[in-house]
Structure 1
């Protein structure tokens, strides 16, 4: 097993930062993403997910 000190470790994004918007995050309008249908299928690692907007304007992602 090799020894890695803090100077050789890759940066780790903490859970706290994972849920907060940072200036370098990509942005796309939900209207553009969802289109006139209000829904889009997202392919991720061979799986399909449905992102849709509810009548109340919320977003729901389901597998």
Structure 2
């Protein structure tokens, strides 16, 4: 019973901690630098809207969704 009570207290303590995920995401989201090389997505994806990228001997598929977003899959 003592262990269960301690567990409940610990869980309650963490549940009451404020979490702001927006600050965490802002810290770890990479931002392009002005001197970074830029390629237009239409030029990269071509008329098919997809391209295979080889990296370290593995193939990745970069494609554009119907909503216009980009998805990179292995």
Query: Which residue is equivalent to 1:47?
Result: 58
Bigger relative CO (Cα 8 Å, ≥ 6 apart): 1
Q: In the aligned structure 1, how far is the partner of 2:45 from the partner of 2:62?
A: 8
The CA RMSD measured in Å over matched residues stands at 1.6
Structure 2: any 5+ residue segments left out of the alignment?
1-26
Larger Rg: 2
1:21 is the counterpart of 2:40:
no
Gaps of at least 5 residues in structure 1 are 1-15
Which TM-score applies when normalising by structure 2? Answer: 0.61
Q: TM-score, normalised by structure 1?
A: 0.71
| Secondary structure in structure 2 of the residue aligned to 1:51 | strand
Relative to its length, the structure with more strand (as a share) is 1
